[in-house]
């Protein structure tokens, strides 16, 4: 992935690079083999790869077009992972077969808005 890529402040980007933290997020999420996961803002795919490694089907929504293209090329595989471009706050959650988990490393501003959509 684009290791030297700059964050885009406009999108509130912060990239997860610590693999230990990514492992902990996946562990704490409780995601199991065969589970379905929506990942919002996969960034460079650090968390995505771990979720796939757990045997979960991952549907990831990325707003940054450049990151979307990179991830689609490297990780998109039918039945394993779907990488979509778009704004998660406008995402059709009914398009994912329930039940599914949302696992992500989001900026606070997006996290609050996303939680409000469900509660």
Largest alpha-carbon pair distance within the chain?
A: 37
Chain centroid offset of residue 21 CA: 15
pLDDT, tens digit (0-9, with 9 covering 90-100), for 62-80: 999 999 999 999 999 999 9
Counting Cβ atoms within 10 Å, is residue 60 exposed (0-12), middle (13-18) or buried (19+)? buried
pLDDT, tens digit (0-9, with 9 covering 90-100), for 6-24: 554 554 556 777 889 889 9
**All domains of the chain, ordered by start, with CATH?**
30-118 (3.40.50.150)
pTM for this predicted structure: 0.81
- E-strand ranges in 1-119 read 36-40, 57-62, 81-85, 101-102
């Amino acid at each position: 992935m684009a290791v030297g890529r700059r964050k885009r402040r406009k999108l509130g980007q912060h990239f997860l690079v610590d693999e230990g933290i990514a492992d902990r997020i996946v562990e704490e999420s409780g995601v199991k083999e065969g589970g379905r996961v929506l990942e919002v803002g996969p960034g460079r795919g650090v968390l995505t790869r771990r979720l796939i490694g757990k045997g979960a089907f991952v549907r990831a929504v990325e707003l940054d077009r450049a990151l979307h293209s990179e991830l689609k090329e490297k990780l998109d595989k039918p039945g394993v992972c779907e990488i979509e471009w778009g704004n998660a706050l406008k995402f059709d959650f009914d398009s994912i077969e329930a039940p599914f988990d949302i696992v992500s490393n989001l900026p606070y501003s997006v996290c609050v808005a996303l939680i409000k959509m469900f509660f």
